[in-house]
């Protein structure tokens, strides 16, 4: 068995089986046997099941929120409005796509048919455990695929809730299967399995490279949503109060443990000191503490090992000479135990430094001065990542800068999340897209019938 550890207390929050390659074999066999029947089910019926999954998850919001807070430390308020609520919106969005989706298309004398790809292996991370699972399972089910899901061993508990809800929604046996275990064992087995037709993975770039290499042996389709080091570009005509407030929120949300976070704040050199003062003042509002307390805005890191990793980056920033203006290494005052770090801001950061280039995955903001829009774009594009980003400024100018960013998603002046818009990365932030029509298409094969 695998113990699931509450990072706030160090106590066991739950246990799941430690799966093996043989367990993956059994899950793939079940998914293979169920595929013909599920693929033959009409898209409308498949969408109806996914719609009922959304309803079932909605009814268990508090249980889901409490479970996620206990297994990976997200503050309970965040767990309610994001960790538990976003999966419902994602499932609803995919259920709603089926009716108008172009399952068949006439192109000249050819009939182009979009068909289920087969058995999908889904490997998901710990930071948004249920959302990431639903973001893969929902489109796969609407497409007519069957699924083998391996959740992160750090935060696996809501995968069981999802399986219960799916069964109650009327999903036939074998269509959705959960295999627990470690990445080195069950994750590797899924990636290389000849009976799996597609792997969809969300996690670190390092792990994504290994999964792609293992999957290449059977030439299966692979979609990867990987790391990020996204830039929040604040132009000199921006509403600074809005840009800093939203920028801080997107740097520290979920303890900074978000692939699409904005850990780099790019600011005009002439406004650097003013924006630093504003950022420090905003950071004071991010209370660190017990994630079950509704006043807490930053909980523990997901594990003690991850706490040490984030703290190591903070120490590296200090050692490399970045200007520490808030937080710093070590545990927060009054929290001698638990996987807590101090939310930290570095100013006047060298864009080529380690803390500005590598994904820290914690509440660490680097403020980087620039000279002119062209310079800002070069800095923003100057990492190996390209997942998300933001631009604040006059609308047309900000849109112009957004178009120049080599990244898969850019928010302009605080635009709201849209579950129907595609999400995914450029460069080493991955390939493929999630959400919306493009996210559904990832789980389909295209056949041309010449007539």
- Catalytic residues, by residue number, are 225
Q: How far apart are CA 180 and CA 121, in angstroms?
A: 13
* Secondary structure string (H, E, C) spanning the chain: CEEEECCCCCCEEEEECCCCHHHHHHHHHHHHHHHHHHHHCCHHHHHHHHHHHHHHHHHCHHHHHHHHHHHHCCCHHHHHHHHHHHHHHHHHHHHHHCCCCCCEEEECCEEEEEEECCEEEEECCCCCHHHHHHHHHHHHHHHCCEEEEECCCCCCHHHHHHHHHHHHCCCCCCCEEECCCCHHHHHHHHHHCCCCCEEEEECCHHHHHHHHHHHHCCCCEEEEECCCCCEEEECCCCCHHHHHHHHHHHHHHHHHCCCCCCCEEEEEHHHHHHHHHHHHHHHCCCCECCCCCCCCCECCCCCHHHHHHHHHHHHHHHHCCCEEEECCCCCCCCCCCCCCCCCEEEECCCCCCHHHHCCCCCCEEEEEEECCHHHHHHHHCCCCCCCCEEEECCHHHHHHHHHHCCCCCCEECCCCCCCCCCECCCHHHEECCECHHHHHHCCEEEEEEEC
Name the β-bridge partners of 222: 199
Q: How far apart are CA 188 and CA 296, in angstroms?
A: 37
Tell which residue, 302, 443, 268, has the closest CA to residue 371. 268
Tell which residue, 51, 45, 46, 150, has the closest CA to residue 92. 51
Q: How far apart are CA 134 and CA 88, in angstroms?
A: 8
Counted residue by residue, the chain has a size of: 451
Let me know: does 359 contact 256? Beta carbons within 8 Å: no
Angle at 173 between CA 62 and CA 72, to 5 degrees: 30
Q: What is the Cα 117 distance to its own chain's centre?
A: 23
Q: Per the structure block, which two tokens stand in for 228? A: 């990020």
């Amino acid at each position: 068995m695998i113990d699931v550890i509450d990072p706030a207390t160090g106590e066991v929050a739950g246990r799941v089986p430690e799966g093996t390659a043989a367990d993956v074999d059994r899950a793939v066999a079940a998914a293979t046997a169920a595929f013909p029947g599920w693929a033959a089910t009409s898209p409308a019926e498949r969408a109806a099941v996914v719609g009922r999954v959304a309803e079932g998850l909605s009814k268990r919001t508090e249980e889901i929120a409490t479970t996620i807070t206990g297994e990976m430390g997200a503050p309970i308020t965040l767990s309610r409005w994001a960790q538990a609520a976003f999966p419902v919106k994602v499932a609803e969005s995919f259920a709603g796509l089926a009716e108008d989706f172009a399952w068949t298309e006439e192109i000249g004398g050819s009939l182009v048919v979009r068909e289920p790809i087969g058995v999908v292996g889904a490997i998901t991370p710990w930071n948004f455990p249920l959302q990431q699972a639903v973001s893969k399972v929902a489109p796969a089910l609407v497409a007519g695929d069957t699924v083998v899901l391996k959740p992160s061993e750090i935060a696996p508990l809501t995968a069981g809730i999802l399986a219960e809800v799916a069964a109650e929604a009327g999903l036939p046996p074998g269509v959705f299967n959960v295999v627990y275990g470690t990445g080195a064992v069950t994750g590797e087995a899924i990636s290389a399995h000849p009976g799996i037709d597609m792997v969809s993975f969300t996690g670190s770039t390092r792990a994504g490279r290994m999964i792609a290499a293992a999957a290449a042996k059977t030439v299966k389709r692979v979609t990867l949503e990987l790391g990020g080091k996204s830039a929040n570009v604040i132009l000199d005509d921006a509403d600074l109060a809005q840009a800093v407030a939203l920028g801080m929120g997107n740097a520290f949300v979920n303890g900074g443990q978000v692939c699409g976070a904005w850990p780099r704040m790019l600011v005009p050199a002439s406004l650097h000191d003013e924006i630093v003062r504003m950022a420090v003042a905003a950071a004071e509002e991010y209370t660190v503490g017990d994630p079950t307390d509704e006043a807490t805005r930053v909980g523990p890191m997901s594990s003690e090992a991850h706490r040490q990793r984030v703290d190591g980056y903070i120490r590296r920033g200090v050692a490399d000479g970045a200007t520490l203006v808030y937080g710093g290494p070590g545990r927060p005052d009054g929290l001698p135990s638990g996987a807590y770090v101090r939310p930290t801001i570095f100013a006047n950061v060298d864009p080529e430094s380690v803390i500005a280039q590598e994904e820290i995955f914690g509440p660490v903001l680097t403020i980087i001065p620039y000279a002119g829009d062209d310079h800002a774009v070069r800095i923003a594009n100057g990492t190996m990542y390209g997942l998300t980003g933001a631009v604040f400024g006059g609308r047309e100018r900000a849109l112009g800068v957004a178009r120049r960013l080599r990244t898969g998603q850019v928010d302009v002046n605080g635009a709201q999340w849209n579950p129907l818009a595609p999400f995914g990365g450029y460069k080493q932030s991955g390939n493929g897209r999630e959400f919306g029509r493009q996210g559904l298409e990832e789980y389909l094969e295209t056949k041309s019938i010449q007539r």
